[in-house]
């Protein structure tokens, strides 16, 4: 298994809450964005902009800072992958994180069979499956991030996982 284990940074007990969230969640948020959008190059910029937006808003985070970060990041990804209109104005250029992805990151985020099957899912189903099985959010947090009532999440997960399994079975050979 070529899984890369990422140690949580030490020394996260100091600094502002946003700094602590940055130290502990930046890597997983970036990986989540890369998996969700299937665009490695833009994932770093989206993640940075997410932190920036949270910092400048200075609003309350009812479900916790981590859930708030994931909610904003998911919304940004949703805007990014939304199809544009014909001759629609292209959005402002996304921030590019220089030095990322390097060769190791490209290897870790390569389009293997599971990633290709994920990319074939609808966006909401992909987000649901990733938030639960990749980021390991709880159901209340997922409900806040996705804006879906908690009682509907089980069925959404059923649909997403069933479709993912079916697609994976088709393309795995």
Partner 1 sequence: MTTSSSERGRCTRISPSAVLDDRLESKDLEWALDHLKSCDVCRDRVEEFREIVVRVDRLPIASIPPSVLRDAYTWAIPEGLRTDPDLALGPMEGTLVTAEPRPEPTRFELPRWEASTREAPAALGRPAIADQPSPPPPPPPPLPTQSLFPLEDAISTPVHEVALDSHREEARPIGEETKAEESPPLEPDARREARVATMTRVSVGLVAAACVVLAGLLYVDGGLLTAFRTPPSPSHPASAGPRTSTAASVKPSRAPSPSASITPTASAPAAIATLGDGVAGDQVFRIRLGTADPRFTRLVFDMNGQGLPAMTVTQPDAQHLVVTFKDTTGAGTPVGGLRTVRLAGVEPAVQQGNDLVFTVDLARAVQVKAFTLTGPPRLVLDLY
Is the Cα dihedral 163, 166, 172, 173 positive or negative? negative
- Backbone phi and psi for residue 15, each to the nearest 5 degrees, phi listed first: 90, 175
How many Cα neighbours within 13 Å face the side chain of 47? Answer: 26
Contacts (CB under 8 A) with partner 1, residues 144-173: 154-155, 157-158, 161-162, 164-165, 167-168, 170-171, 173
Minimum distance of partner 1 from residue 126's CB (angstroms): 10
Token couple for 140: 């209340």
Contacts (CB under 8 A) with partner 1, residues 64-93: 87, 89, 92-93
Q: Which is nearer to partner 1, 62 or 88 (CB)?
A: 88
Contacts (CB under 8 A) with partner 1, residues 103-132: 104-105, 107-109, 114-118, 120, 129-130, 132
The answer to whether 22 contacts partner 1 (rule: CB under 8 A) is yes
Contact between residue 30 and residue 105 where contact means Cβ atoms under 8 Å apart: no
Return the exposure string of 13-43: e unless at least 16 CB atoms fall within 10 Å of the residue's CB, then b: eeeeeeebbbbebbbbbbbbbbbbbbbbebb
Minimum distance of partner 1 from residue 149's CB (angstroms): 13
Minimum distance of partner 1 from residue 131's CB (angstroms): 11
Q: How many residues bind partner 1 (CB under 8 A)?
A: 77
């Amino acid at each position: 298994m070529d899984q890369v284990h990422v140690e949580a940074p030490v020394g996260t007990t100091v600094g502002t809450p946003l700094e602590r969230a940055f130290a502990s969640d930046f890597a997983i948020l970036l990986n989540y964005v890369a998996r969700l959008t299937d665009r490695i190059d833009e994932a770093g910029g989206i993640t940075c902009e997410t932190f920036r937006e949270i910092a400048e808003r200075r609003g309350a985070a009812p479900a916790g800072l981590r859930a708030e970060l994931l909610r904003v990041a998911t919304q940004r990804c949703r805007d990014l992958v939304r199809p544009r209109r014909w001759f629609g104005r292209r959005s402002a250029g996304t921030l590019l994180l220089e030095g990322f992805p390097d060769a190791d990151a490209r290897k870790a985020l390569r389009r293997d069979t599971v990633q290709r099957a994920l990319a074939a899912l609808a966006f909401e189903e992909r987000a649901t499956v990733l938030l639960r099985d990749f980021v390991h959010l709880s159901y209340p947090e997922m409900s806040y991030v996705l804006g879906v009532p908690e009682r509907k999440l089980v069925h959404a997960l059923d649909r997403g996982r069933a479709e993912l399994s079916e697609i994976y079975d088709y393309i795995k050979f």
